[in-house]
Amino acid sequence: MKFQKFLILNSKPNNGESEVEVLFNVDHIVSIKPIRISSPDKLMNGFWIRTTNGKKYRASKIPDELLGIIGEKYQGTINLASDSEEQPFQ
């Protein structure tokens, strides 16, 4: 078994969204997909993790070993312009 530490977004209806450190067995991860995660105050790059038992998780940070394979450009916050209505969609 190979355990690695991930930073998972845990959203609860009353408490908002928080980040929790979780250990995953890397052998049980089926896929990791880069995504954009939005919250009321920021937009950030993140990852959609799917495991062999069918559960899905949103991660804001993955181990450097996996990040090197996927690409570092997919991690971190995205700078938003103050006038976002004038910015074209990408």
Give the integer Cα–Cα distance in Å for 67 and 14.
32
Domain membership of residue 89 (yes or no) is no
DSSP β-bridge partners for residue 48? 33, 58
Q: What is the DSSP string of 34-49?
A: EEEEE-SS-EEEEEEE
Say what the pLDDT of residue 39 is. Answer: 73
Domain membership of residue 7 (yes or no) is yes
pLDDT in tens, 49-71: 999 999 999 998 999 888 888 87
Domain membership of residue 33 (yes or no) is yes
In terms of Cβ atoms closer than 10 Å to its own Cβ (0-12, 13-18, 19+), residue 9 is: middle
Report the domain count for the chain. Answer: 1
> What H or E segment, with its residue span, contains residue 66?
helix 64-70
Domain membership of residue 20 (yes or no) is yes
Domain of 43 in residue numbering reads as 3-77
Domain membership of residue 82 (yes or no) is no
Domain membership of residue 21 (yes or no) is yes
Domain membership of residue 29 (yes or no) is yes
Mean pLDDT of 18-41: 89
